[in-house]
Amino acid sequence: MSVVKSITMQHLSPREALAAVDRYVGRSEKVHEEFHDLGQNQSGVLVYEQYFSRVGNRIALIVIAENFSGQTRARVISTGSSKRLLFDFDWGAADAYVNEVLGILARADQDRPV
């Protein structure tokens, strides 16, 4: 099962957004990290993996933050939460993983001084 959601932030740069995620998603194993600073445009990616006992499988989490449109936008993707061939069912694990990161980003954006 896969879940893709996005959030637009008013106060955080992509670097700050990714730092907030990295600070609070501590129990997950970081698999990959990259950041590109192109002057006024920035883009970064974090990839995590975590074992969820409720599905008996490791779930991948990808966070992409960019500001190519003048505002920071993050896409949060969770995938690999279903290990069944015929049934794509994960007891809500992928959605919970994505919503946790969206909450981290929303709080960090709200708490950042302008």
Q: What is the pLDDT of residues 39-83, one digit of tens each?
A: 889 999 999 998 877 667 788 899 999 999 889 999 999 886 555
Nearest residue to 81 via CA among 49, 103, 106, 104: 49
CA-to-CA distance for 40 and 17, rounded, in angstroms?
A: 16
Choice between 15 and 85, residue whose per-residue pLDDT is larger: 15
Q: Tokens 């505002």 belong to which residue?
A: 71
DSSP 3-state of 39: coil
- Under CATH, what is the fold of the domain 3-111? Alpha-D-Glucose-1,6-Bisphosphate; Chain A, domain 4 (3.30.530)
Angle at 34 between CA 48 and CA 24, to 5 degrees: 45
Q: What is the pLDDT of residues 6-44, one digit of tens each?
A: 999 999 999 999 999 999 886 789 999 999 999 889 999
Task: Give the contacts of 80 (CB within 8 A, at least 6 positions apart).
Answer: 2, 57, 58, 59, 60
